[in-house]
Structure 1
Amino acid sequence: MTTPVPTAHETADTAARAAGRRRWIALAVVLTAAFMDLVDATIVNIAVPSIQRDTGATFSAVQWVTAGYALAFALGLITGGRLGDIHGRKKLFLLGMGGFTLASALCGFAAGPGMLIGARVLQGAMAALMVPQVLAIIHVSFPAHERGKVFGMFGAVIGLGAVCGPLIGALLTEGDLFGLAWRPIFLINLPVGVAGILLGRRFLTESRAPRALRVDLIGTALATVGLLMLLYPLTQGRENGWPLWGFVSMAASPLVLAVFVRFERARARKGGAPLVELSLFTIRSFAAGAGVQLTFGVVSGLFFLVWTLHMQLGLGWGPLHAGLTGVPFSLACSLAAGVSVQKLVPRFGRKVLQAGALIMLCGALVYLGEAGRYGTALQSWQLVPAMLLMGAGMGLIVAPITDAALSEVPAEHSGSASGIFNTTGQLGMALGLGLSSVAFFGVLGSRGEAGGAGAPDALRAAFVEATGHALWWISGGLVVVFGLLFLLPRTVRAQQPAEQGEPAASGEGRPEERQPALVP
């Protein structure tokens, strides 16, 4: 009996099916990484009170636990993308995922606030290596006719992460697994990360740009120093009694950032590869969009921290109670985001984003009214209208803002513009968390340092008062966002993620990560 010999056609079909399975497994790996990043950025807020009680962290340390991640991620995002272009996207993705997993372990086993802050900064830096490779790997792994379905799955993962992050954090913290309190919110990354590394090594395909731009290390250092000179005294100043050196540092910060701008311009004139393509800011829609992104990031960073502390330390709710209270927010945000991009923006243009700012402003004012009316007796159901309004308003903004800001950017600069734009949002969140020293903790004062679920009524009332003060700041920021939106084009030309994704020889057209990082 003879064994049938497969024909060339059958061999080709078998190879095609194997390649198909390989790229879908690769997709699952990179989408899992995107999900990990989004969940990790949102999971921590809900555990802040538990972290504070367990480690004895001051409120400024708590600010750094969240702001350190956002700042490291923002400063490394563009550099991480370019390193992937130069050294290989698979290599940088696996390096980032490995570092992210190690940093998660360090967070989970942190012996004190200092170690936790350092591990969170490392985690943000590793996310900056991992996340920018996601869309690039998707783009080189799938043909054009399949990318619509793939990017739809990418969007679904983002929405799922927005809903699941706070709930996962609440369940793990409230469950107090093995008596570890908040630590499982980080340790849960370990098996996921190890599995991702093993599968990624086998199924991801290596790719790099033919002639990638060089990394701007001096520009990165100048930007880091300038921003730290602003954020460090802003965050630590209240705890240290607002010393003179803090004001000197904050005043000198713009000077360092001005040196950064001059250096970037000089580097561009000499034909180098600047960290930030400053010529993009001569495009009115991009400059306005970046302003919206920065301001909205400040508003979001401030709101999410204040909201969590109000629910748990001000109202005495447990993590699960607080997490479930946020479900209407997340669902409204995800629903509004999908409707805005698919139905509303193509018809009404920038008016949709302006409506989102006003709806979110109404939600903040409703929250302010409810908190002032009911004080420490506020119930979850009384917050539902405010949560629905704020979530829906946020969804109408975060989904279409990138396309609105990039609508007039030349195609050859779309990748660079997208990277800068997402970096701006992360920087805004870090600034918002730093600003909470003035907008929230400045009102709370020393009364809140010993706060907790069992705090006396007077202390809880102080948290409610501080929350009301912060909500006025948030409302003012939303008014600024509404005004800046008038500078965007009246109509928005929809851009598919794939349009921005071709890794070009120049390195400009690479697909920087476009996920809406501001979703809670």
Structure 2
Amino acid sequence: MSEAVSRGSAEVRESTGNYAAMLLVLLAATFLVRFDFFVVNVAALSLGTDLGAGATALELIVGGYAFAYAAGMITGGRLGDLHGHRRLFVLGVIAFTVTSLLCGITATAEQLVLARLAQGLAAALMVPQVLAVITSDFPPHARGRAFAGYGIASGLGSIAGQVLGGALVQADVAGLGWRLIFLVNVPIGVVTAIVAARVLPDRRDAPRTGLDPLGTLGLSGALALLLVPLGLGQPAGWPAWTWVCLALAVPVGVATVRWEQVLGRRGRSPLLDLRLFRLPSFRLGLVAGVAFNAYFGSLMFTLSLLLQAGLHLGPFAAGLVFSPMGVCFSLTALCGGRLFARFGLDSLVWGSLVTAAGLALLAAGLHVSGAGVGVAWVLFCLALVGLGNGVVLPSLMGASLTHVRPESAGVASGVLATSQQFAVSGGVAVIGALYFGVVGHDIGGAAHAAAMRWALWVDVVLVLAVIGAVLALKRNRPTPLSGVDGSPA
């Protein structure tokens, strides 16, 4: 009897250790992907100086990564279902490591844009396997903490990209400058791939879905036709091709939706399960997630430009300005789940209000003081933003999936994550274009302060849209037994 108890205790300890090792590897990859999106922000001026990267190139270097990541995410998840999550995760980590090396050794801005697109596609192979492994291989009692860890790793990766990225650029180790922000991924990626091959389970389910290359091409094409001219049009003076692309985005998008409907009627596996959009909680949650991520991506990009070009802070000092946001985000994210469990959707409303207040106060400070706004005021406002974000971000996706059938949760998660990444890219492109349009050819601090003020008010509107979507979600919540199409399960 005692031997059986001892054996059982040993198995529990071994199992717990395995799950801890698995989670550590998965969260390391999640952190890296988010880190590499935001780390470029603090290197923006260095890239402009060393590679001659102008406004258009900077938007593509930042937003192109997010666009490629979003475009390949659903396909990456389906490849994991077909060929095994461990295999695709390891391949994704290796590809991410190689493309990070390519980013670090590029000689021109054009090469860096291409390398960043490839890096985003590598991330699209890697990250969907994180959620899949947590869902399929972690026991129910461990999934809650694992998903919470996923949300926290994503948020901290975003902030660390600003803080640690600034430190790396400022350190200028061996004269590498901005290149170090990419090269540091190489040893981390090698270790992560080796450990992942050892600790992740080699399991695959019988494939229930296939690939939808036409759907992937159509969706990515429609969004590219929309986002590229919005990002590049203003610096280029809105030439004819930008208007042609914008006009083509609508028919390409409509044709893609029709194709998805045809696949659904044939019993095939469309890229987008359009039945999900009949469920109010999913539809409104998607709107809230898109608005939130568009604001957050644009804020990190434009504020980095203000701090360095407008307030003349170095990369490290500019990165440190984001530290209070990171600390406050961590504090509220750790208890965000409990707040949501106790107060429900009201916690998301109040968190969004705190975020909006921080943004509005920063805009007001810039209106009053311009480029003379004190760094202490910026720190205070960003701390408020971090407090609000920590309440909203970890719970937003869970609230959107509350009434989705379990068998549709994987597809629904992929659609939400993809839309949110496209939103980050769109926020950088559209609000970044607004920022550069206000600055124009004026390199003075006053011009950057004015541009940031406009960008902040747009961000406030986006956060208010989050609040509106959450309030609508409260009014339209179906019963817990509703199915994916809103009918009784």
Same fold (TM over 0.5): yes
Distance 1:361 1:8 in 2: 57
CA RMSD in angstroms comes to: 2.4
Say if 2:72 is the partner of 1:59: no
Deviations 1:374-401 (A, max 9, x none): 2222222121221122222222221221
TM-score normalised by length of structure 1: 0.86
Give the 3-state SS of the residue equivalent to 1:400 in structure 2: helix
Counterpart for residue 299 of structure 1: 295
More displaced, 471-480 or 418-427? 471-480
- Residue 292 of structure 1 deviates from its aligned partner by 1.2
One-letter amino acid of the counterpart of residue 108, structure 1: G
Counterpart for residue 382 of structure 1: 377
Distance 1:43 1:255 in 2: 36
- Residue 120 of structure 1 deviates from its aligned partner by 0.8
One-letter amino acid of the counterpart of residue 375, structure 1: G
One-letter amino acid of the counterpart of residue 368, structure 2: R
Q: Is the 8 A contact 1:310 1:467 kept in 2?
A: yes
More displaced, 481-490 or 324-333? 481-490
Flag structure 2 segments of 5+ consecutive residues without an equivalent: 481-489
Counterpart for residue 356 of structure 2: 361
Q: Is the 8 A contact 1:346 1:491 kept in 2?
A: no
Q: Is the 8 A contact 1:238 1:437 kept in 2?
A: no
Say if 2:155 is the partner of 1:170: no
1:130 to 123, 126, 131: 126
One-letter amino acid of the counterpart of residue 353, structure 1: L
- Residue 422 of structure 1 deviates from its aligned partner by 1.1
Distance 2:5 2:389 in 1: 52
Deviations 1:274-298 (A, max 9, x none): 1011111111121111111112222
- Residue 134 of structure 1 deviates from its aligned partner by 1.3
- Residue 8 of structure 1 deviates from its aligned partner by 11
- Residue 138 of structure 1 deviates from its aligned partner by 3.6
Deviations 1:201-245 (A, max 9, x none): 233221112133001100000111111111111111122211122
Counterpart for residue 401 of structure 2: 406
Equivalent residue runs for 1:120-159 within 5 Å: 120-151=116-147, 153-158=149-154
One-letter amino acid of the counterpart of residue 475, structure 1: V
- Residue 21 of structure 1 deviates from its aligned partner by 5.0
Give the 3-state SS of the residue equivalent to 1:354 in structure 2: helix
Deviations 1:400-440 (A, max 9, x none): 21122112222221221111111111111111111035421
Give the 3-state SS of the residue equivalent to 1:257 in structure 2: helix
Q: Is the 8 A contact 1:404 1:489 kept in 2?
A: no
Q: Is the 8 A contact 1:172 1:182 kept in 2?
A: yes
Deviations 1:11-39 (A, max 9, x none): 99988876765554333322221221122
Distance 1:76 1:24 in 2: 28
Relative to total residues, which structure has the larger helix share, 1 or 2?
2
Say if 2:75 is the partner of 1:90: no
Distance 1:13 1:336 in 2: 35
Pair 391,148 (structure 1): closer, same or farther in 2 beyond 3 Å: closer
Counterpart for residue 424 of structure 1: 419
Deviations 1:328-359 (A, max 9, x none): 1122222223333212x233322222222222
More displaced, 147-156 or 397-406? 147-156
Q: Is the 8 A contact 2:59 2:429 kept in 1?
A: yes
One-letter amino acid of the counterpart of residue 253, structure 1: A
2:388 to 393, 411, 415: 393
Counterpart for residue 485 of structure 2: none
Counterpart for residue 518 of structure 1: none
Distance 1:140 1:409 in 2: 17
Give the 3-state SS of the residue equivalent to 1:132 in structure 2: helix
Residue identity (%): 35
Pair 59,409 (structure 1): closer, same or farther in 2 beyond 3 Å: same
Equivalent residue runs for 1:244-393 within 5 Å: 244-343=240-339, 345-393=340-388
- Matched residue pairs, number? 477
Deviations 1:123-181 (A, max 9, x none): 11111100111132244444334444544554554454344332210110111111111
Distance 2:281 2:148 in 1: 26
Distance 2:149 2:453 in 1: 39
Give the 3-state SS of the residue equivalent to 1:488 in structure 2: helix
Pair 408,28 (structure 1): closer, same or farther in 2 beyond 3 Å: closer
Say if 2:485 is the partner of 1:483: no
More displaced, 17-26 or 67-76? 17-26
Counterpart for residue 220 of structure 2: 224
Distance 2:362 2:76 in 1: 39
Distance 1:12 1:396 in 2: 39
- Residue 194 of structure 1 deviates from its aligned partner by 1.0
Give the 3-state SS of the residue equivalent to 1:237 in structure 2: helix
Counterpart for residue 197 of structure 1: 193
Say if 2:466 is the partner of 1:471: no
Pair 284,153 (structure 1): closer, same or farther in 2 beyond 3 Å: closer
More displaced, 48-57 or 469-478? 469-478
Flag structure 1 segments of 5+ consecutive residues without an equivalent: 1-6, 449-458, 496-520
One-letter amino acid of the counterpart of residue 448, structure 2: F
Deviations 1:296-326 (A, max 9, x none): 2221222111111001100000111111111
Say if 2:96 is the partner of 1:100: yes
One-letter amino acid of the counterpart of residue 461, structure 2: G
Q: Is the 8 A contact 1:341 1:400 kept in 2?
A: yes
More displaced, 173-182 or 468-477? 468-477
More displaced, 434-443 or 483-492? 483-492
Distance 2:106 2:189 in 1: 19
Distance 1:332 1:310 in 2: 22
TM-score normalised by length of structure 2: 0.91
One-letter amino acid of the counterpart of residue 341, structure 2: P
Q: Is the 8 A contact 2:301 2:432 kept in 1?
A: no
